[in-house]
Amino acid sequence: MRREVHTRGAVNHAVGRRGWSRNTVAAHCRTLRTFFGYAEQQRWCSYGIRGSICSHRVPRIAENLSGPPWEDVRRVIASIGISKPADLRAKAMFLLFSIYGLRSAEVRGLTLEDINWRKGSMAVRRAKRGKTQQFPLQSEVGEAIALYLEKARPRCHCRTLFVTLNPPYRPVSGHSMSSIVSPRIMKLGIATQQFGPHALRRACATQLLRTGSSLKDIADFLGHSDLRSVSNYAKFDPASLKNVANFSLRGIS
């Protein structure tokens, strides 16, 4: 095995032509360094290979914090059909990610009991703050969930809102949610570096900022413990800072 590994060109190729994010490349590089560190200890290869594996620096604050443009998010939602069970489930998920800015774990954690149809509300267990937050059930979201429950969700003992469409019925995993969201964004050729559920959360935060919501209200709405995470969105959208004002998201507790 050659002593020197030329990784810089490979990294540029992965980031560019293959479309990998810098975080993905960095993760692969860490895995390779761990493997070759062990291989060097076992004398399976020449010493120094581990140290030659390098990757681009990953900024602490991502360059694409704003997510895909809101118009494109709405375009993807409009493109999802309502005739197939998989589409009905996907549409309900897309709306929860984009309208409420929920994390993947928070959508996975929703149960049938969390939707209160009588009061028109939804309970969300926050993934990071550990508390339950009550939201008014927005009409478009409520209609999409109702249609999914009526025509797509299998009848099963599982109480999780989103379940697999084929037996054995079980809660949809985080990986599966990414597989549901990402291809639908990529199919329309939307200009964004990330395509999973978190990209829709970022799009939600940026849209709230652009429509005049205050940083504090956005932080409360998204379940952040402080303003620092939300203020990062503003750094990448200076024009929106002029529109930030005190705006009450009524019904959010």
Q: Looking at the whole model, is its pTM more than 0.85?
A: no
**Percent of the chain scored above 90 by pLDDT?**
47
For the segment 141-187, what is each residue's pLDDT rounded down to a tens digit?
Answer: 999 999 999 999 999 999 999 999 999 999 999 999 999 999 999 99
pLDDT the model gives residue 25: 78
220 pLDDT exceeds 80? yes
Residue whose token pair is 């032509």? 17
Domains of the chain as residue ranges with CATH: 8-52 (no CATH), 70-241 (1.10.443.10)
pLDDT the model gives residue 245: 35
Relative to beta strand 132-136, strand 115-116 is unpaired
Residue 235 pLDDT grade (very low, low, confident, very high; cuts 50, 70, 90):
low
For the segment 104-145, what is each residue's pLDDT rounded down to a tens digit?
Answer: 999 999 999 999 999 999 999 998 777 899 999 999 999 999
DSSP 190: -
For the segment 72-87, what is each residue's pLDDT rounded down to a tens digit?
Answer: 999 999 999 999 999 9
Phi (first) and psi of residue 194, to 5 degrees: -125, 145
Please say whether the beta carbons of 245 and 215 come within 8 A.
no
Q: Which residues are catalytic?
A: 103, 128, 198, 201, 224, 233
Neighbour-count burial for 133-155, b at 16+ CB within 10 Å, e otherwise: bebebeeebbebbebbbeebbee
CA dihedral 187, 190, 193, 195 (to 10 degrees): -50
